[in-house]
Amino acid sequence: MNELERLRQIHRSLSDVISQMEAEQRESPSLITKTVRLGDARSMAILAAIDSAGGSVSNVEFESILAKFGRTLRGAGGFFGGAGASVRREDGKLVITNAGTTTLEKWKQRYGNKWLEDLVTPEALGDRAYPDNSRVTFRA
């Protein structure tokens, strides 16, 4: 058997293994979970809410989003600070910045696009009884 034919055979074998593994995963989704700091999850949830609202929200909408995820305006300064600010004020709206979008995309790459829906304890995001250094778990 020449080298090219041997490589084709290996390729077919790998394709079969990959197909089988994908089928098994569809039938029995992974029970693997990931755990992160609650403060980080809250921040990403706020950015995700602004992003899903088209990238900008009014002051009232921003306050509502903050409250939903256990934050107040007083504690939101970190979104506006420094060169890497994730939110800025523009024409009377609060707009997610390129840095904020990049941060959110990195989070999604690491934890998946559905991380927010897959939280095991979503109520913890908005409950101030859980401090930011608590841990929150979601399905990976």
Tens place of pLDDT per residue across the chain (140 aa): 688 887 777 777 767 667 666 666 666 655 677 888 989 999 999 999 999 999 999 999 999 999 999 898 888 888 998 888 999 999 999 999 999 999 999 998 888 888 888 776 778 888 888 888 888 887 76
Domain spans in the chain, listed from the N-terminal domain onward: 1-28, 31-139
The whole-model pTM stands at 0.74
Under CATH, which architecture does the 31-139 domain have? Orthogonal Bundle (1.10)
Residue carrying the six token digits 């600070």 = 81
Residue carrying the six token digits 């939101």 = 76
DSSP H or E segment with residue 138: strand 135-139
